[in-house]
Amino acid sequence: MSTATIVIVGPTAVGKTKLSIDLAKRLNSEIINGDAFQVYRGMDIGTAKISKEEAEGVPHHLIDICRPEQPYTAADYQQDARRVIEKIRLEGKPPILVGGTGFYIKAALFDYQFSSTGANPAYRRQLEQIAECKGKGVLFERLKQVDPVAAKRIHPNNLVRVIRALEVYHETGKPFSLQESDETVRPLYPYLCIGLSMNRQLLYRRINERVDQMIREGLVDEVHELYTRGLKDAQAMQAIGYKEFIPYFEGRTTREASVEQLKKNSRHYAKRQFTWFKRQMSVDWFDMSDALVNFDAKSEEIYRFVLRKLDEHSDS
Is the Cβ–Cβ distance between 11 and 48 less than 8 Å?
A: no
CA distance 85 to 31: 9
The whole-angstrom distance between residue 80's C-alpha and the CA centroid of its chain comes to 15
Hey, what amino acid is at 256? E
Give the pLDDT score at 63: 98
Does pLDDT of 181 surpass 70?
A: no
Q: Is 59 annotated as a binding residue?
A: no
Q: What's the average model confidence in pLDDT over 234-259?
A: 96
The whole-angstrom distance between residue 307's C-alpha and the CA centroid of its chain comes to 26
Lowest mean pLDDT among 7-21, 161-175, 207-221, 296-310: 161-175
| Strands 5-9 and 96-98, sheet pairing | parallel
Rounded to the nearest 5 degrees, what angle is found at the Cα of 300, between the Cα atoms of 297 and 304? 145
Is the Cβ–Cβ distance between 100 and 273 less than 8 Å?
A: yes
Confidence of residue 213 (pLDDT cuts 50, 70, 90): very high
Q: What's the average model confidence in pLDDT over 87-99?
A: 97
Q: Which of 289, 296, 210 is nearest to 23 (CA)?
A: 296
The domain limits of the chain are: 5-113+190-315, 121-178
Q: Is 87 annotated as a binding residue?
A: no
Q: Is 218 annotated as a binding residue?
A: no
Does pLDDT of 179 surpass 70?
A: no
Q: Which of 298, 295, 75, 92 is nearest to 194 (CA)?
A: 298
Q: Which of 242, 10, 200, 235 is nearest to 105 (CA)?
A: 10
CATH number of 5-113+190-315: 3.40.50.300
- What would the pLDDT profile of 112-162 be if each residue is shown by its tens digit? 776 556 567 788 888 988 988 888 899 999 999 999 988 988 888 888 889
User: Within a 10 A sphere around the Cβ of 267, how many other Cβ atoms?
Assistant: 18
Which parts of the chain are beta strand (E)? 5-9, 31-33, 60-61, 96-98, 191-197, 284-287
Is the Cβ–Cβ distance between 206 and 263 less than 8 Å?
A: no
Decide if 5-113+190-315 and 121-178 have a common fold: no
Q: Is 14 annotated as a binding residue?
A: yes
Does pLDDT of 261 surpass 70?
A: yes
Give the pLDDT score at 122: 81
CA distance 83 to 97: 13
Q: Which of 217, 286, 225, 215 is nearest to 255 (CA)?
A: 215
- Residues contacting residue 301 through CB under 8 Å, at least 6 positions apart: 286
Question: By three-state DSSP, how is residue 110 classified?
Answer: strand
Burial of 132 (0-12, 13-18, 19+ CB in 10 A): exposed
Give the pLDDT score at 279: 84
Give the pLDDT score at 183: 45
| Stronger pLDDT, 72 or 92, i.e. the higher one | 92
Q: Is 13 annotated as a binding residue?
A: yes
CATH of 121-178, one of 1.10.20.140, 3.30.420.40, 1.10.10.10, 3.40.50.2300: 1.10.20.140
Q: What are the distances in angstroms from CA 75 to CA 114, 154, 203?
A: 6, 17, 31
- Global pTM reads 0.83
Is the Cβ–Cβ distance between 263 and 205 less than 8 Å?
A: no
Is the Cβ–Cβ distance between 31 and 98 less than 8 Å?
A: yes
- What would the pLDDT profile of 23-39 be if each residue is shown by its tens digit? 999 999 999 999 999 99
| Strands 60-61 and 5-9, sheet pairing | unpaired
Confidence of residue 185 (pLDDT cuts 50, 70, 90): low
Does pLDDT of 230 surpass 90?
A: yes
Which parts of 173-223 are beta strand (E)? 191-197
Give the pLDDT score at 150: 87
